Amino acid sequence: MAYKFSILTQEQAENIAFNWHYDGEYSFYDMEADKEDLDEFLNPEERGDSTFAVTKENELFAFLSISKVTDRIFDIGLGMRPDLTGKGNGIEFVRAGINFIQSEFKPEKITLSVATFNQRAIKLYRKVGFKDVKTFMQDTNGSTFEFLKMVYEC
């Protein structure tokens, strides 16, 4: 069954923010790990119409945030429900997200940033066609972490 993308509701945002908790080093991605990110995610005006709930068989599967960088470049952030990670769902989900962005926004490029410790995600993004651009340091979660900027040429 296909993925469905719809504007994230407040109820879905709160569910993700307060109930999605990742194991081990991936707890870095818990919404509550960074107050600024949490506040932004919970604020409907901040989310606007650019954060999508991704459902599959009527169950919340993931979320996808899309930010317009230029008319033809879009930056994404995404998260999969913790109990679904590490089980081979990623390729299909990321490809569905790319297809959704291509059909809705007609981008030239899609970019994303991922913490460099997250080799599982980096391997997945490379497999679907993202290329490494550069690494950079980012303040988040009360410290500074290295991230990898990646790009998908549409």
Q: What is the pLDDT of residues 111-139, one digit of tens each?
A: 999 999 999 999 999 999 999 999 999 99
Token pair of 74, please?
């879009």
Q: What is the CATH number of domain 3-108?
A: 3.40.630.30
What confidence score (pLDDT) does residue 1 get? 63
Please, which residues have CB within 8 angstroms of residue 129's CB and are 6 or more apart in sequence?
152, 153
Low-confidence ranges of the chain (pLDDT < 50): none
pTM above 0.85, yes or no: yes
pLDDT on residue 48: 92
N residues, the chain? 154
CB-based contact 66:101 (threshold 8 Å): yes
pLDDT at 152: 98
Residue 136: HSE in the Cβ half-sphere, 13 Å Cα cutoff:
11
